[in-house]
Amino acid sequence: MLEGFFWISLLLFLHPYTTYPLSLVGLRLLGFPRSRQESIATGELPQVCVLVVAYNEEGQIRARIENVLGHDYPAERMEFCVVSDGSSDRTDEIVLSYGDRVRLVRSPQRIGKAMCVNLGLQETASGVVVFTDANTEFAKDAVMRLVAPLGDPSVGFVVGTQRYRTLRNAPAEKSESSYSSYETWLRQLEGCVGSVVGGDGAIMAVRRELIGSLRPDDVSDLRIPLECVAKGFRGYFQAAAKGWEVAPHVFRKQFDRKTRIIQRSILTMVRVSQVLNPFRTGMFAYLAVSHKVLRWFGPVLLLIAIASSSLLVWNGESQYGWFLAGVIAFLGIAAGYRLPILRRSRLVYLSFYFWMIQFAALVAITHLHRRDYYTLWEPARE
């Protein structure tokens, strides 16, 4: 029985990083039905609302507004809405200085991003909502490219490519950039076999009629895509729609952000759990469990594997010592990050980043009962 616990927990822990991407590659090579794209003709472009939720973004918001207003999407078909989450700096003043080119929706007090999204959606009648962040920069054609795949009536949401700039070349920045590249690759594969699993609040377009009301602790860029899938639509990955932002250069800020996101993502997935039913969503259920659920609960699976292998070694099954030795070695490599001389080693900082994510997920799981703990946020910048 202990051997069964060990192998099942270990294989499930490794699956999101090994057999899952390999299975996607295999399905693609076998000619699994690919996502098609039916672009919208220029004369049929829908009315679009670009929606930004901002809290104390006086250092970022002007550049963001200029970036959006400089897009090549027809101005008469695009509105721009900034929802201020009780900002106490000059964010509101800067937005108002643009007059009727940008609409300001202000919450007088902090209510969190999800509730601010609800406020913004109440202020628009546009058929398509483009979600983005105050610190994101779009390529000039990003909005046009995000909207184009919605010409396919089966597509409910479109996710673009979000890249991270490494201004300081810090290990935390480079780790986040590597992770982002890996996520982009997975989304490309998922798009080829059905639907991308989640969205990206920094660069995502959604049909307005598919967006329901969010709860305070929902992750909007997960809840909205899952609702689209639950209603029979799919997500399209549009690699040509590009955006950039600067990654936090301190691991501690990344840890706090990931803990918040994972905790709220688990709660969000529970609320739309019907998407995990393969009899209802088919291949998507496999994609969602592999890409999201098993990752979130990865540290629990790893602890089970460690405990069961330790008991097996204690009972004389010394062949399982290789696993414990491997875990200790991997932790030792990550611990090398504490030494300045090793901090710039790619192997060391990526190992540290991997274990940081595992610990963030474990903390998030232990805080699941605190459902109102992460409804508010601070911009993850210096």
User: Whose CA is closest to 36, among 148, 182, 139, 176?
Assistant: 148
In a domain, 140, yes or no: yes
What pLDDT was estimated at residue 316? 84
Reply yes or no on whether the pLDDT at 381 is more than 60: no
Full residue range of the structural domain in which residue 102 is found: 42-252
Question: What is the CATH number for 178?
Answer: 3.90.550.10
Q: How many domains does the chain have?
A: 1
Q: What is the pLDDT of residues 157-192, one digit of tens each?
A: 999 999 887 777 788 888 998 998 999 999 999 988
In a domain, 341, yes or no: no
In a domain, 99, yes or no: yes
Q: What is the pLDDT of residues 314-369, one digit of tens each?
A: 988 888 899 999 999 999 999 999 998 998 899 999 999 999 999 999 999 998 87
- How far is C-alpha 193 from the chain's CA centre? 19
What pLDDT was estimated at residue 233? 95
Strand segments, DSSP code E, in the chain are 48-54, 78-85, 103-107, 128-132, 137-138, 155-165, 203-207, 234-246
In a domain, 237, yes or no: yes
What is the pLDDT confidence band of residue 40, given thresholds at 50, 70 and 90?
low
Helices and strands in the chain, H and E counts: 15, 8
For the chain, the C-alpha Rg in angstroms (whole number) is 22
Mean of all residue pLDDT scores within the chain: 90
